[in-house]
Amino acid sequence: MVVIRIRNSHRRHYALLCFSIAGFIIYNYIGMQPGVRRVSRREGLSANSSLFTLEGEEFRILGGSIHYFRVPRAYWKDRIMKMKACGVNTLTTYVPWNLHEPERGIFDFQRQLDLEAYINLAAEVGLWVILRPGPYICSEMDLGGLPSWLLRDENMKLRTTYPGFTEAVNSFFDKLIPKVIPLQFKKGGPIIAVQVENEYGSYAKDKNYMPFIKEALQSRGIDELLLTSDNNEGLKYGGVIGALRTINLQKLKPEGLKYLDAIQPQSPKLVMEYWAGWFDAWGDLHHVFAAEDMVAVVRKILKRGMSVNLYMFHGGTNFAFMSGAFAKPSYKALITSYDYDAPLTEAGDYTPKYHLLRDLFSRYHTEKLPEMLPLRWKEAYEAAIMYQHLSLWDALQFVEEPFRSVSPVNMESLPVNNGNGQSFGYTLYETTITSGGLLRSDNNVRDRALVFVDRRFIGVFKYKSLELAVPDGKGKRTLSLLVENCGRVHYGKSLDSQRKGLVGDIVLNNTPLRDFTIYSLDMKPSFIERLNAAPWKYLPAIPTFPGFFQGRLFVDGYPSDTFIKLPGWSKAVVFINGQNLGRYWSIGPQQALYLPGPWLNSGINQVIVFEEQEADSKIHFEDSPDLGMTVDV
């Protein structure tokens, strides 16, 4: 036996050397994992060469978008882990200003909107994060995620350096940015990049605006790589000095890539939004993008040495009245589902796209990908019988005190919600008439109005319909217009004009109507809760419309996801245990609303449906979605 004797003085040096080597190995093995928090890191995501580097090592972004506000919090981890198992290494998410600041100065970062918890969960699962804080986010959301109370200012110029807008942005960022500062990469967190605004090249009304947003982020402590993102047409106008320009696309077009090469010849290329599918509008077909074609483009992107972010990896749902709309070629409101034909369905199920992407992404990993999670059970529950009815007219006593005005007032300017106006839902305008004749909207209905005389339905004003016949009658009668905000436009240059309700005069026989009583029906949870004390009646054979219908869903055992189908209904909003699931409209394409299991109770569940014009005596529950007939994007 050979014994090596080490002097005491050398032992200390030997132990220190071993400790240093061990520390170096551990650092290289786990120091670059998102879930491992350290006090600081030296160098974050860098774009100083043709490839990204992270902590000095080459890094390719394989990203996927999942929005925390479109997924029930109970399912955040399920969706993120499924994305991780597909080979994605980076989560991207928008931050919706309108949800986080529903009233000026009143902020909500709790429960479903707990952004910090969401980012920390991504780190726990092992993903990096690219944060897209806006303030404008598009994302097919009402007003592109901007709060509607901004429009109370008649002179408001959104997405510019107009003082009324910049002051509001500064106030929001004062609350938001400190929450994410500790979550940056250099402080031991998972955030490796932050996007400056969103697709500003398609708007570009103020050359000073993008520098303002960049400074607003950096002055509050954002210290990671900054990005901008634009489509092919917007690339030339949407950038800002000091931020890497990235591109949004669905088909690879040489002009966009050539322009990036010209302005950023030694920088890495990132497709910030590779559109994995598309969104749908009411009255259209459901858009799909063939899995093989979609993955073929991703393969080409990666072969070019580029990075990519899949928008969306999992779309989720536009719960409540979150959906936006588009204005061109004509106004169309978006559906409740945000399935997006993404790799994970609205309910989090795997698709052919998922499996093809997993096979492709696995080739860009040296280690085996995590195992795929099992799918969650879907249940076709027994139909819920609607046994109670409450007319809209009887429900008016449970809304805020009505407002009286000589002329019509748009919903944003109403003195409700602590002086912040009305953001979503319906607004009822009532006035007195003394004759019949020709009623003209003069294009002042935003977006759709049911019209009544003495609470008897006489017709509909749609966005562009201009005339309606009012039947003759004796004496004074009440004319009522129930106006719905179907969704503010989320993209384009008409954002400043997205006020809803009645935005101008309604004319009867060439005379503008006056002296209105206005009711705000925003359908908030507090209002639905107050309806528990309403004078509900047993469902009559011929119910009054519009009206609320109430029934019960019984769940035996642990609740599962399900899909609500409403054959025999026309245009409705569905509430389960007070949760607003969103709009249903028989014109499609969407024919079933997603109901997450975590929002159900074991036992009895309250079902309330607000229906405008036609109802059945029950609603049905299926174990599979129905997004309607399809069309290729």
Q: Which of 55, 199, 224, 430 is catalytic?
A: 199
Nearest to 172 by CA among 67, 94, 100, 93: 100
What are the start-end ranges of the E strands in 356-435?
384-391, 403-405, 426-433
Report how far apart, in Å, the C-alpha atoms of 550 and of each of 117, 222, 489, 553, 611 are: 35, 49, 32, 10, 11
Instruction: Specify the DSSP element, H or E, that contains 45.
Output: strand 45-46
Q: Would residue 273 show up in a list of annotated catalytic residues for this protein?
A: yes
The upper half-sphere exposure of residue 541, i.e. CA atoms within 13 Å in the direction of its Cβ, equals: 0
Q: What are phi and psi of 261, to 5 degrees?
A: -60, -40
CA 375 to CA 630: how far, in whole Å?
Answer: 25
SS3 call for 318:
coil
Radius of gyration (Cα) for the chain, nearest Å?
27
List all residues 6 or more positions away from 591 whose beta carbon is below 8 Å from its beta carbon: 565, 626, 627, 628
The upper half-sphere exposure of residue 215, i.e. CA atoms within 13 Å in the direction of its Cβ, equals: 8
Q: Is 456 exposed, middle or buried (0-12, 13-18, 19+ CB in 10 A)?
A: exposed
Q: Which of 140, 224, 273, 484 is catalytic?
A: 273
Give the strand pairing for 477-484 and 426-433.
antiparallel
Quickly list DSSP for 121-170: HHHHHT-EEEEE--S---TTBGGGG--GGGGGSTT--TTS--HHHHHHHH
Q: Which amino acid is at 297?
A: V
Two tokens, residue 554 = 């019984």
Report how far apart, in Å, the C-alpha atoms of 5 and of each of 2, 9, 18, 200 are: 10, 12, 17, 70
Two tokens, residue 217 = 């982020």
Q: Would residue 197 show up in a list of annotated catalytic residues for this protein?
A: no
List all residues 6 or more positions away from 484 whose beta carbon is below 8 Å from its beta carbon: 425, 426, 447, 448, 449
SS3 call for 614:
coil
Q: What angle do CA 53, 94, 115 make, to 5 degrees?
A: 95
Only one residue has tokens 């919090």, namely 73
Catalytic positions are: 199, 273
